[in-house]
Amino acid sequence: MPTDIIVPNLGESIVEATVAEWLKQEGDPVEVGEAIVVLETEKVDLDVGAEKRGVLAKIVRAKGEDVEVGDVLGVIEESGAEDGEPSPAAAGQAAQMEEPKEAAEPAEERPQASGEREIATPVARRLAAEHGVDLDAVSPSGPRGKITKEDVERHLARSGGEKPAPPAPRPEDSRPARPAPQVERAADPRGEERVRMSRRRRTIAQRLVEAQRTAAMLTTFNEIDMTAMMDLRQRRKEAFAERHGVGLGIASFFVKAAVGALRTFPQLNAEIDGDDLILKHYYDIGMAIGAEEGLVVPVLRDADRMSFAEIERAIKDFAQRAGEGALTLDDLRGGTFTITNGGVFGSLMSTPILNPPQVGILGLHKIEQRPIALNGEVVIRPMMYVALSYDHRVVDGRESVQFLVRIKELVEDPERLLLEG
């Protein structure tokens, strides 16, 4: 009996996706829960699994096609598993179990999964496919035994980076090869090419333009003397890392400072809904992270209740999973205020763009030794420019300037930050 593979509910306000990759081809056996196809949404990549055991009989929507919730992606023909008859995939697994143990050394330490593809992140799968790497030969190090991009890279380094020969095409697969829809060579002899933007990049572009078109966006600046905070980090970093198992960075200080400033200026922890202003009495701080496929903003929920160590651990986890393409929709949902740090890329000053429907975003920048006047003398101090972009429909200039002054006061006096942040 055929079973349709349907585009599932994609989460908050997401109704469209793009077929990023088929993990199975027509004629391949599938097991219940095994990932069959990867969908790229505007926020994350989602694996769509099989609801029935059988064979992938037909691929309806090809790689690169845009789909909507409820669309049919493909068809599974259920295998005859009645009266105790095992499916072809199950029979294959049983045969493999009877093989000598010497042939299964790399896979012995791998946790059992319903399908090989489910134990690797989407980025790791793509990298393995590009280099012809058998995932059974890769040792996992990710959470819950998942194979990460770094695991595949380490495997390639150990094997000398040689690419195994690609598998020979199956004779029964007579479908014509599909041209890559995302790249089209231009006719210009100097070598131009036209590259189709990914769904995520198109969404980012659309949201940024929308933010500038709908909000009365302005930016104000200040600078912070980072001496006291850096001295505190220098004194406490070893004990902090030994006790909590994570480094003490600057991000946790600014998250705490942002919460303290938002408490003083609640208009910046709000959003506009028609003629109403919705003031949020909770503090879900988004942390902008540059991932391979575009900017993502995972959210620290109830950041006001988090310790410095909890914030640092969460940010480290977000960064790792963003690099692996393993962030979930829940990680990215909501947010009342955003912090972005262009300083990690060397930016000295910038004007961050709002993340709708939020009305404020704090931009951090590179720490640089600069001469400043202090008590009538010129001294060299580690300084950072900070920027606040805000929606002038909600926030006046006075509040925006005072908000940044509050951030400055808290960061320049870390003890005060510990008490009030």
Mark whether 304 is an active-site residue: no
pLDDT at 106: 43
Phi, psi (rounded to 5 degrees) for 18:
-125, 135
Q: Report the C-alpha gap between 354 and 297 in whole angstroms.
A: 12
Cα-Cα-Cα-Cα dihedral sign, residues 62, 63, 64, 65: positive
Q: Calculate mean pLDDT across residues 283-303.
A: 89
The band of 118, judged by pLDDT with boundaries at 50, 70 and 90, is low
pLDDT score of 343 more than 80: yes
pLDDT at 117: 42
Between 5-14, 87-96, 410-419, the lowest mean confidence (pLDDT) is in 87-96
Q: What is the pLDDT of residues 27-74, one digit of tens each?
A: 888 888 888 888 877 667 778 888 888 889 889 988 888 888 888 998
Mean pLDDT of the chain: 81
The torsion angle over the Cα atoms of residues 108, 109, 112 and 116, rounded to 10 degrees, is: -80
Between 93-97, 123-127, 322-326, 411-415, the lowest mean confidence (pLDDT) is in 93-97
Per CATH, the number for 218-420 is 3.30.559.10
Q: What is the pLDDT of residues 319-332, one digit of tens each?
A: 988 888 788 888 98
pLDDT score of 413 more than 50: yes
* pTM (2 d.p.): 0.63
Mark whether 396 is an active-site residue: yes
Catalytic residue among 231, 304, 396, 413: 396
Q: Report the C-alpha gap between 90 and 1 in whole angstroms.
A: 18
The band of 116, judged by pLDDT with boundaries at 50, 70 and 90, is very low
Contact, 410 vs 362, CB < 8 A? no
| CATH class of the region 2-158 | mainly beta
Annotated domain spans of the chain: 2-158, 218-420
Catalytic residue among 83, 136, 392, 413: 392
- Residues 6+ positions from 69 with CB-CB distance below 8 Å: 7, 8, 9, 10, 15, 16
Contact, 198 vs 205, CB < 8 A? no
SS3 161: coil
Q: Report the C-alpha gap between 113 and 193 in whole angstroms.
A: 41
pLDDT at 148: 79
Structure tokens at 403: 């908000």
